[in-house]
Chains A and B, each alone.
Chain A
Amino acid sequence: MSSMTRGIGQETKGRRSLKRIGLSLGSVVVFYGAMYTLAPDTALTALKASAKISLALCLPLSLVFSVMFLLNLFVRPAQIAGVFSRNTGMKGMLLSAAAGIISMGPIFAWYPLMKKMREEGAGEGPIAVFLYNRAVKPFLLPVMIAYFGWTYVALVTILTILGSIVLGYSMNAVSGD
């Protein structure tokens, strides 16, 4: 019974998410429509600016799809669970960072697995490190590089990973793990 309730809950959540996406896009389109009737020149300028941004994104996005495909081909959720470490030492932190980097999908999709890992004795440090490193997205790097350049992306990536280790030890200290 409880699993049934959970199933329905998940379905509703999925529908809500689709609704939200439709609403976001719909409201922007409606706003453009309203603007076109009030100030057609400004609306056209905005559309031209959007088209320019879209064009600039075409190549990076095709690369994004390629990297996404390769990750889906080689990396599976069970492997990420295998890489994720319950160990609160440096090795555990680094493994959890690697698991966070290769993980894909929305953050809330990973909460159940993290909850389970926590229940089975995983330290708070590795879980926090995993969640933090989801900011490092290999498949999105083409877009980031297109906007900010290689050097910047390399620096942000390195400092984010280092920051996650600091976070991991801070969480360990707070929780007493």
Chain B
Amino acid sequence: MKVAISAEDTTLGAPVSRRFGVSPYLIIVDLDTGEWEAVRNPGSSGKRGAGVEAIVLVISKGVNAVVTGYCSPPIRKHLESNGVDVFTGLSGTVEDAVGIYRKGEIQKKQEFESNALDRWSFLRAGTITNAFKSSGNQFATMLPILFSVVLLMGLVNALVPGELLASLFSGSALFDTLWGACLGSILAGNPVNSYVIGGELLKQGVSLFAVTALIITWVTVGLVQLPAEMAALGRRFALVRNAVCFILAVPIALMTVVILNVVTG
């Protein structure tokens, strides 16, 4: 049983921090073994989305309960929906808070109706509005580029004869797949664009091997995002991952089309 207490410092004698999301440290105490560790709260920066980082930390550390002075409703909701109990209204030192928690004197505040067992929480007006807003934003971000792609495909249809496009592909399954994989690795963006481009190319006579490889590598291989991936996850990881993904795209595309041909006759 692990408890995370928001703290002003890294010792058990430190005062309990008033706000969980932005407290400087979280002291995680294992009540079974008595072991504890002080972790810098990634949310202490106070930047946008910092609360999510604190939530991720608590979940990844396998914490069962959070003890703090105050916890904002969205953070509480996320923690509780992930099975982490939240106890608020605590003050004094971290050691005191652990003692109170151990004795069971702490009362879980029922400030909000939602908890992990509330299976109907998604029906609340706020949740539905937020989901609607998020979807609207994601959709609105996707549409301008999709519209550009549609306009471009209209141009390709009008300007480039289908025979010319098809002639770029040799008809060899392996070569077409490699060619499609190269194209998909260079291009990037929302996968829906790859479906539109792939579908339209298919209508123009481009082989399904090439189109399938293009769709697979569009997301899995990202030459454009490579610098960002290297910065975040390391040079070796990014290079090996992209290389393996490119190689994998070839057999996956070949198998997809071959099996499809067998299934559909």
Contact = CB atoms under 8 A, between A and B. Distances in A.
B195 A49 contact: no
Interface centre among A22, A104, A113, A135 (most CB of B within 10 A): A135
Given A6-B47, A159-B255, A167-B245, A81 B55 contact: yes
Contacts of B251: 163
Contact of A116 (B53, B228, B240, B264): B53
Interface residues of A, number: 79
B108 interface: no
Contacts of B198: 147-148
B170 interface: no
Contacts of A104: 138
Interface string A157-177: 001100100110011001100
Interface in A93-136: 104-105, 107-108, 111-118, 120, 124, 127-128, 131-132, 134-135
Interface string B226-257: 00110111100100110011001001100110
A57 B199 CA distance: 11
25 contacts: A21-B145, A24-B144, A24-B145, A24-B148, A46-B157, A49-B158, A53-B150, A53-B153, A54-B147, A65-B135, A68-B138, A69-B131, A78-B52, A81-B56, A104-B138, A111-B231, A116-B42, A118-B234, A137-B192, A140-B195, A147-B195, A148-B198, A151-B263, A159-B256, A163-B248
Interface of A: 3, 6-7, 10, 21-22, 24-25, 28-29, 31-32, 35, 42-43, 45-51, 53-54, 57, 64-65, 68-69, 72-74, 76-79, 81-82, 86, 104-105, 107-108, 111-118, 120, 124, 127-128, 131-132, 134-135, 137, 140, 143-144, 146-148, 151-152, 155-156, 159-160, 163, 166-167, 170-171, 174-175
